[in-house]
Structure 1
Amino acid sequence: MILNKFRKEVLNGSVREIKKSLREVNQMVSPDNEDYLMRINSLVNRLEDSKTERRDRQEILKLSERLNEKKIRLPDEIAAEVEADLAEVDRCLENNCLRSVVVLCGRILETALHRKYYEATQNDLLEKAPGIGLGKIIAKLSEANVVLDPGLTQQIHLINQIRVFSVHSKKEVFRPSQEQAEAMVLYTKDVLRKLFG
């Protein structure tokens, strides 16, 4: 998602927008991409030179194809399901299906929190309380003495609130913006990293 946004900026954006997007890329790529990232940073800094700008943009695009996101360590039991959902999130973002992004982020969090609860208690909430909401799962985790960072619970609650507005019928249809959807994806991935990292 962030890499695609960066590539679009390299193709069409101003140098200022490319640099802004590159700051996000620097934070999310895998450490084993350091050589590519250093070269990209160097080329982006040269973009002000109009003589080499076109060639530099092409080189940046080529190098960016070799970058990959930091892996999120997931329990084997949910890895395939969560990775499939994350891949679908990317497809939804690319096709501007933003309410679907919101729904999938909620689903990913439900899967992750159910797993975290199971790891702590050996009790499967999916069997005992299949319709339990995210807030109640967080409360159950707290009862099981699983300490979650307060900021993390706020992120989860925010994602859940937006999911509720997107899924359930309201007077007005809620349509998340591209930026809101992208932020939800970043928050969701951050929650996964903090839960299982």
Structure 2
Amino acid sequence: MPSIYQLKPAFQRLLRPLTHALARAGVTANQVTTAAVLLSFATGWCVWQFPAERWPWLLVPVFLFVRIALNAIDGMLAREHGQKSRLGALLNELGDVLSDAALYLPFSVLPAISPMLVVLIVLLATISEMTGVVAIQIGASRRYDGPMGKSDRAFVFGALGLALGMGVAPGGWINWLLGVVLALLVLTTLNRARKALVENA
């Protein structure tokens, strides 16, 4: 199923010169991964502490774009500059789910939002990523299938943060949007499991 993840090769081409420069400067993939996680927590903390202000919400789309770039860079540093490691693989997978939790759970502080929906989205996001990783254990490749992968979630929450930061009043429409995200996460998990089983058949 279609996913923003399919745009990753084009995005990587744009970032490749910067990645080469970072490699020459001695920056490692693990340092980039760690920086992405720490910045995720910092951004989430700002939203959590100042939900009534507009500026923290505007930070969300800006940082989510930066996070996607950092994730692409750490992958290229690992693959193209001989920095692959077991620690790096562990940091990459754990970093993704920790960053999602740090960035998305603070949305639950909005009075108009159902906290349970936000928690369920974070939980299902973790399960969908775990499904993608477990595919390796049954002999398939790491599955990144959509329709609600990491990049897709970043787009939705980034757009939501931008809307709130621009002064759009929160309301019941947000819960409808989150309900759609939740349903698509269920579909994503099933899709990844199915594709893994078919690949390994």
TM-score (norm 2): 0.32
- Structure of greater relative contact order (alpha carbons < 8 Å, 6+ residues apart): 2
TM-score (norm 1): 0.33
